[in-house]
Amino acid sequence: MEKLYSLLEQHYEEMISIRRYLHEHPELSFQEVKTPAYIADYHRQLGHEVKEKVGGRGVVATLRGEKPGKTVALRADFDALAIQEANDIPYKSKVDGVMHACGHDGHTATLLVLAKVLNQLKDELEGTIVFIHQHAEEVSPGGAIAMIEDGCLEGVDVIFGTHLWATEPTGNMMIKSGPIMAAADEFEVTIQGKGGHGAEPHITKDAIVIGSQFVMNVQQIVSRRINPLYPAVISIGHFEALNPFNVIADTAVLKGTVRTFDEEARSMIEQELEKVLQAACLAIDATYQFKYKHGYPAVRNHQEETDFLVEIAKHIKEIKKARECEPLMAGEDFSYYLQHVKGAFFFIGACDPQWTEIYPHHHPKFNIDEQALLIAAKTLGVATIQYLQK
Whether 85 is a known active-site residue: answer no
Task: Tell me, rounded to whole angstroms, the distance of Cα 58 from its chain centroid.
Answer: 15
Q: Which domain-ending residue is among 296, 329, 361?
A: 296
On whether both 219 and 361 belong to a single domain, the answer is: no
* Domain ranges, residue 248: 183-296
Confidence grade of residue 128 (pLDDT, cut at 50, 70, 90): very high
Residue 1: the pLDDT is: 87
Which is catalytic among the residues 32, 105, 137, 272?
A: 137
Confidence grade of residue 130 (pLDDT, cut at 50, 70, 90): very high
Confidence grade of residue 290 (pLDDT, cut at 50, 70, 90): very high
Q: Which domain-ending residue is among 267, 296, 325?
A: 296
Which is catalytic among the residues 24, 27, 79, 250?
A: 79
Q: Which domain-ending residue is among 243, 267, 296?
A: 296
| HEC assignment per residue over the chain | CHHHHHHHHHCHHHHHHHHHHHHHCCCECCCCCHHHHHHHHHHHHHCCEEEEEECCCEEEEEEECCEEEEEEEEEEECCEECCCCCCCCCCCCCCCCCECCCCHHHHHHHHHHHHHHHHHCHHHCEEEEEEEEECCCCCCCCCHHHHHHCCCCCCCCEEEEEEEEEEEECCEEEECCEEEECEEEEEEEEEECECEECCCHHHCECHHHHHHHHHHHHHHHHHHCCCCCCCEEEEEEEEECCCCCCEECCEEEEEEEEEECCHHHHHHHHHHHHHHHHHHHHHHCCEEEEEEEEEECCEEECHHHHHHHHHHHCCCCCCCEEEECCCECCCCCHHHHHHHCEEEEEEEEEECCCCCCCCCCCCCCCCCCCHHHHHHHHHHHHHHHHHHHC
The pTM of the full predicted model, rounded to 2 decimals, is: 0.94
CATH code for the domain in which residue 17 is found: 3.40.630.10
Residue 30: the pLDDT is: 98
Residue 12: the pLDDT is: 98
Task: Tell me, rounded to whole angstroms, the distance of Cα 137 from its chain centroid.
Answer: 6
On whether both 34 and 168 belong to a single domain, the answer is: yes
- Mean pLDDT across 367-385: 98
On whether both 374 and 226 belong to a single domain, the answer is: no
Whether 123 is a known active-site residue: answer no
Share above pLDDT 70 across residues of the chain, in percent, rounded to a whole number: 100
